[in-house]
Structure 1
Amino acid sequence: MNEANIIRTGRAVLHVKDLEKARDFYIDSLGFIETESTETELYLRGLEEHNHHSLLLKEKNVAAVEVMSYKVYAESDLDVLHEQLTQEGLKPIWVEKGEQHAIGRTLRVQDHSGLPIEYYAEMDVVDRLLQRYDLYKGARVQRIDHFNNMVQDVEEAYGFYTEKLGFACSEYTATDEERIWAAWLHRKPSVHDVAFMNGVGPRLHHVGFWLSEPLALIHACDVLAAKGYAPSIERGPGRHGLSNAFFLYVRDPDGHRIELYNGDYLTSDPDFKPVRWSINDPMRGTFWGHEAPDSWFNEASIVLDVTTSQPVETKKPTIKQGKPQFVI
């Protein structure tokens, strides 16, 4: 069977409890562009993006993650994925064109880790605002970049995404016994479209958005502080050892974590070898040495079942014993 051509991270659909508070945070403070909105939905994109949205906020009673989406090359890739996921023992479901606004037919599935995943090929095209510098404000968000998820079994997630879905590994963290503690996987030629970290899961740790320069992160801090959101700045600014990226982590009014991200590197060469980090190396998380707060390790967003829309049960992480199952 042919392998589906997954292009990149596409969009996140998050549930928030107060859409107006979310609007103030995402648009007025971080600088997202509002494509359109209703009384209960807010469609956002970055300045560089030509698709209708990369972040959809829905007003609900409970803050949660409805789905994390990947864009595929063509409609036929969705059919390939449906067959492949079914053969894997999963239960993908179709959401037909017209059932969701501004996006074509999608395929949703609960992956092996219990994460709600969506694939799509078609989304409405809008004006790219890259050179509308008069609209730049806040963090001047350019585009969606990646998801980071906490899962019970990182090695299982690693195996499924690399062996079945064609993702490649750029960097990873290993224990002294060479267990995979965390892995950064990509389809586009950057460090990652998705990362998996050992932790209570399945949960979404954060959605990463690409910025044009490190100074945009600094300006975002100034704007957030001036607007009363200083407590929302959770970690950074700083530089990761893993990925080499300049980062800032912020929490929206509902606790969803957003990473503002800049400065990783090209991974397109076929002979690129994944970078190994020891779990005992303090520079892997923060190259400059300062520690992350406990909340960064312990808190994350709950995810929903794609069929029932109910929260997915979380479990404590497990590190398998014995020899590694996968060769990096």
Structure 2
Amino acid sequence: MPVPSPVFDPPFNILRASHAVLDVTNLEASRAFYETTIGLHVEDDDGQTVYLRGSEEHQHHSLVLRQGTAAACHRLGFRVGDEDDLDRAAAFLAASGIIYAFVERPFQGRTLHFSDPFGFAIELYATMEKRPHLLRRYDLYKGCHPQRLDHFNVFAAEVQDTVDFYARLGFRLTEYAEEDGEAGRIAAAWMHRKGNVHDFAITNGRGPRLHHFAYWVPGPMNILHLCDVMASSGYLANMERGPGRHGISNAFFLYVRDPDGHRLELYSSDYQTMDPDHEPLRWSLRDPRRQTLWGAPAPRSWFEQGSGFAGQDVREPLFVADVTIAD
């Protein structure tokens, strides 16, 4: 299927993936997991919502946990360049027939909410309250020392159309997995705005659902340390996949599940992609190095389980990709 061409003059300027907003069923348990085990820093907690961030981040939050009756992904947040970009985004959405609304959100400036044509709930903002840099506050480090939120990965029922939509918004393709043959279809795509492998990854599957969100950590040893922490603190069963190294993105990774089953990736060791002539890397679905450079396939849960978006019906994918699944 066609690989989208880069768009260097999008209708508005998205800078990067910024924050995830998750509904959880036990706020206290979720806070303990992300703060003590993973190592994120709590900035605010009003009893109904907890705001956390990584040690490198100046922004007030990159993860928002909301007390809810059911686990779900509420919103995925992206930062835009300035206030004018919010108005340009509103104009683009209106011209595209997409319903949107400007809302007020704690600790953020003017915020634009919309659901894209495929059911992914998005919020855009230009300004957020700042907090002191904690990068050198090693006395506060816990867990795997997460530095910053890096990307989102979603299950999309209509992969090609979703890729094309976000390419129009300036997301540039870095790597993709495709069926072999002349009529091969794209089964997954990694797209970026900030100049590394991805801010937004789009994977074929029942959607719209959040597959995972990811924090960057300093190095592989942080990930190995987290394995020891989880194995000795009651979270052994929450380690779903890894540690390992992806062929795609070159990332050293670990995937874990929080108390509600939301999937979190901790990773390091990807690469830069900001040059305008950067060529996307194609992977065959049959290449065993794609999932893990060392050849180990992903478990079945990896392909079947994800977090639904609140209020959105989940659709079956347009096709079923022929992927290798671990026994």
Which TM-score band applies after superposition, normalised by the shorter structure?
over 0.9
Residue equivalent to 2:266 = 260
CA distance in structure 1 between the aligned counterparts of 2:288 and 2:96, rounded to whole angstroms: 37
**Is 2:47 aligned against 1:39?**
yes
Residue equivalent to 1:116 = 121
Following TM superposition, by how much is the alpha carbon of 1:271 offset from its aligned partner in structure 2, in angstroms?
1.0
Following TM superposition, by how much is the alpha carbon of 1:89 offset from its aligned partner in structure 2, in angstroms?
1.6
Residue equivalent to 2:324 = none
Question: Is the CA contact 2:10–2:170 (under 8 Å) kept in the aligned structure 1?
Answer: no
Residue equivalent to 1:142 = 147
1:173-322 aligned within 5 A: 173-176=177-180, 177-304=183-310, 311-319=311-319
Residue equivalent to 2:169 = 165
Unaligned runs of 5+ in 2: 1-8, 321-327
Following TM superposition, by how much is the alpha carbon of 1:319 offset from its aligned partner in structure 2, in angstroms?
3.9
Following TM superposition, by how much is the alpha carbon of 1:2 offset from its aligned partner in structure 2, in angstroms?
6.6
Q: Secondary structure at the match of 1:3?
A: coil
Q: Which amino acid aligns with 2:262?
A: H
Taking structure 1 as the reference length, the TM-score comes to 0.93
**Is 2:61 aligned against 1:57?**
no
Residue equivalent to 1:125 = 130
Q: Which amino acid aligns with 2:303?
A: F
CA distance in structure 1 between the aligned counterparts of 2:228 and 2:154, rounded to whole angstroms: 28
Residue equivalent to 2:90 = 82
Deviations 1:110-164, CA, capped at 9 Å, x for gaps: 11211001100010000010000111110101000000000101100110011x2
Following TM superposition, by how much is the alpha carbon of 1:3 offset from its aligned partner in structure 2, in angstroms?
2.3
Instruction: Flag the 1:83–1:291 CA change in 2: closer, same or farther, 3 A.
Output: same
Q: Which amino acid aligns with 1:115?
A: F
**Identical aligned residues as a percent:** 48
Q: Which amino acid aligns with 1:303?
A: F
Q: Secondary structure at the match of 1:249?
A: strand
CA distance in structure 2 between the aligned counterparts of 1:148 and 1:126, rounded to whole angstroms: 27
Deviations 1:227-280, CA, capped at 9 Å, x for gaps: 110000000000000000011000000000000011110001111100000111
Q: Secondary structure at the match of 2:314?
A: coil
4+ residue runs of structure 1 moved beyond 3 angstroms?
A: none
CA distance in structure 2 between the aligned counterparts of 1:88 and 1:319, rounded to whole angstroms: 26
Q: Which amino acid aligns with 1:151?
A: A
Instruction: Flag the 1:266–1:316 CA change in 2: closer, same or farther, 3 A.
Output: same
Does 176-185 or 165-174 show the bigger shift? 176-185
Q: Secondary structure at the match of 2:28?
A: helix
Q: Secondary structure at the match of 1:85?
A: helix
CA distance in structure 1 between the aligned counterparts of 2:177 and 2:298, rounded to whole angstroms: 17
Residue equivalent to 1:307 = none
Question: Is the CA contact 1:2–1:80 (under 8 Å) kept in the aligned structure 2?
Answer: no
Deviations 1:63-117, CA, capped at 9 Å, x for gaps: 111100100010110000011011112111111xxx3210111111111211001
CA distance in structure 2 between the aligned counterparts of 1:112 and 1:158, rounded to whole angstroms: 12
Residue equivalent to 1:9 = 17
Following TM superposition, by how much is the alpha carbon of 1:226 offset from its aligned partner in structure 2, in angstroms?
1.1
Q: Which amino acid aligns with 1:69?
A: G
Unaligned runs of 5+ in 1: 305-310, 321-328
Residue equivalent to 2:325 = none
Q: Which amino acid aligns with 1:77?
A: D
Residue equivalent to 2:3 = none
Taking structure 2 as the reference length, the TM-score comes to 0.93
CA distance in structure 2 between the aligned counterparts of 1:300 and 1:168, rounded to whole angstroms: 24
Q: Give the total of aligned pairs.
A: 310
Calculate the aligned-residue CA RMSD, in Å. Answer: 1.2
CA distance in structure 2 between the aligned counterparts of 1:44 and 1:240, rounded to whole angstroms: 27
Residue equivalent to 2:4 = none
CA distance in structure 2 between the aligned counterparts of 1:2 and 1:66, rounded to whole angstroms: 26
